[in-house]
């Protein structure tokens, strides 16, 4: 299967930045060659400390370039103001937003904005992640990969 090139922004808690390469490798083994617009220390060093500058001048342009925003869900992701802001901003831009549980993640790690704006929530499974990136709406999953009882995709949504 020939690799399909996708522009993806990976939203993540700063403690999970080391998982981005594993994410790229996982989806790469399932046919997606990811062009990464994510902001993280290994890729882009900056000395910015002004939150509005970081959001508006560094993060937002990178998100605009991406077609999909993948949210890596690990310990403390739900507590990240940046991740929740990125999800909300991606929704305002009309981006496809998928949540991906990192190994060891728990229900309480899911960011509140993902419930509101997410299109998919899947476990650490390359095939399912690729299907979600490619626009397939599937049942939302629990961290262990089993279907959730409360699937937000079954709720009526409106577009702003």
> Each residue of 145-160: pLDDT tens digit?
899 876 665 544 444 4
Residue 19 confidence (pLDDT): 94
What average pLDDT does this structure show over 11-38?
Answer: 90
> Domains in the chain, please, with CATH?
4-150 (3.40.50.300)
pTM: 0.88
> What DSSP assignment string belongs to the chain?
-PPEEEEEEEE--GGGGGGHHHHHHHHHTTTEEEEE----TTT-------HHHIIIIIIHHHHHH-SEEEEEE-TTGGG-HHHHHHHHHHHHTT-EEEEEEPTT--GGGS-HHHHHH-SEEE-S-HHHHHHHHTT-----B-TTSPBPSS-GGGS-----
- For the stretch 45-93, pLDDT in tens is 555 677 888 888 888 988 998 999 999 999 999 999 999 999 999 999 9
Tens-place pLDDT, residues 101-136:
999 999 999 999 999 999 999 999 999 999 999 999
Per-residue pLDDT, 125? 95
């Amino acid at each position: 299967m020939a690799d399909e090139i996708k522009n993806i922004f990976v939203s993540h808690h700063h403690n999970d930045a080391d998982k981005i390469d594993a994410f790229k490798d996982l989806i790469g083994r399932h046919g997606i060659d990811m062009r990464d617009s994510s902001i993280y220390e290994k890729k882009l060093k900056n000395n910015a400390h002004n939150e509005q500058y970081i959001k508006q001048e560094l993060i937002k342009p990178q998100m605009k370039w991406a077609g999909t925003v993948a949210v890596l869900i690990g310990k403390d992701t739900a507590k990240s103001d940046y991740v929740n802001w990125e999800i909300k901003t991606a929704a305002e831009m009309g981006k496809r937003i998928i949540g991906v549980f990192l190994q060891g993640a728990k229900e309480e790690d899911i960011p509140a904005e993902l419930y509101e704006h997410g299109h998919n929530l899947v476990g650490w499974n390359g095939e399912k992640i690729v299907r979600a990136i490619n626009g397939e709406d599937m049942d939302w999953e629990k961290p262990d990969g089993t279907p959730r009882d409360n699937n937000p995709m079954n709720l009526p949504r409106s577009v702003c």
